[in-house]
Amino acid sequence: MGANMARRLKETGHRVSAVYDVRRDSAKALAQELGCSAPESLKEVTASADVILTVVTDNAAMRGIFAPEGDSLLIGAAGKFFINCATVSPSIHLEVSAACDAVGASALEACMASSITQARNGTLYLMVGGSENVFLSLESILKDLSSTIQRFGGIGEAAKVKALVNMVMNINTAALAEGLGLGAAMGLDLQMLKIVFAQTGANSRVLETDGDDMIAREHDCYFSAAHAAKDSGIANELAVEAGVPVPLSHATELQYRRLISLGLGELDKSGIAELTFPGRTV
């Protein structure tokens, strides 16, 4: 996601001054492609730009890049802007924003309901949280990355919405895998079944994006099963805090965690069909 966002920003006339990744080979290759630097430290990233976009995997990674001690994006960050795009817990966005405020920097959350193709094409669906002044300062960058921007108020609010988006998406994906898997077990024509699903109340966005991949066992990763488990977990934690039962979401998280336990966490989320189709290896 980050690499394609960097490509898009350069393509739309922004100066991409540095790219950073814990996988040094990936960072160096992208830097060579974009004609920018590939710093070895986070503090060098902050020093190289006025606006820093972050896309990391989980809560721990987010805390790590904004650590109060050691190498951190917060070093020399006074006057800088951070656009944080990872799907992490709302509380982490609040924590990071407070840390940025403490050093004179500004943070905006820009949660993405899209995948790598949309990142490359500048058609991300962005859910934004943060102060209006910070949003207006960064709006031109956000517009070059997206086709839709929805703003939800302060820091943490967009992350709540993103958690619910992924919760429902993951439930729909798991349900589709079960429907197609049961259809396969009963000997039905799965392409016919897909058409019927699409024309009835069984329709969903994931039918379009994942249905054929489930049938063909093509699980090239656009959004990993591991990330699906993590994101369902975020939503389930929010549900516990709110005192709302979400048994379908808990069941979905368990299915994705089963994939991880089988060593299949890096499959696309469509890989959940490996648990439901008859005769498959797992």
Q: Which residues contact 144 (CB under 8 A, 6 or more apart)?
A: 8, 9, 12, 14, 122
Q: Going along 141-208, which residue ranges are E strands?
A: 146-151
Q: For position 210, what pLDDT does the model report? A: 97
What residues form DSSP beta bridges with 18? Answer: 37
The pLDDT-based confidence of 282 (bands split at 50, 70, 90) is: low
Report whether pLDDT(58) > 70.
yes
Q: How far apart are CA 236 and CA 20, in angstroms?
A: 31
Could you read off the pLDDT of 212-263 as tens digits, one per residue?
Answer: 999 999 999 999 999 999 999 999 999 999 999 999 999 999 999 999 999 9
Is residue 173 predicted with pLDDT exceeding 70?
A: yes
pLDDT of 171 over the 70 cut: yes
Find the mean pLDDT for residues 201-213: 97
Q: Read off the pLDDT band of 176 (50, 70, 90).
A: very high
The C-alpha atoms of residue 143 and residue 273 are separated, in whole angstroms, by: 36
Q: Is 23 exposed, middle or buried (0-12, 13-18, 19+ CB in 10 A)?
A: exposed
- Is the pLDDT reported for residue 114 higher than 90? no
- Residue 37's φ and ψ, nearest 5 degrees, are -90, 165
Q: Which residues pair with 129 in a beta bridge?
A: 109
Q: Which domains does the chain have, with CATH numbers?
A: 2-155 (3.40.50.720), 163-275 (1.10.1040.10)
Residue 32 has pLDDT above 80, yes or no: yes
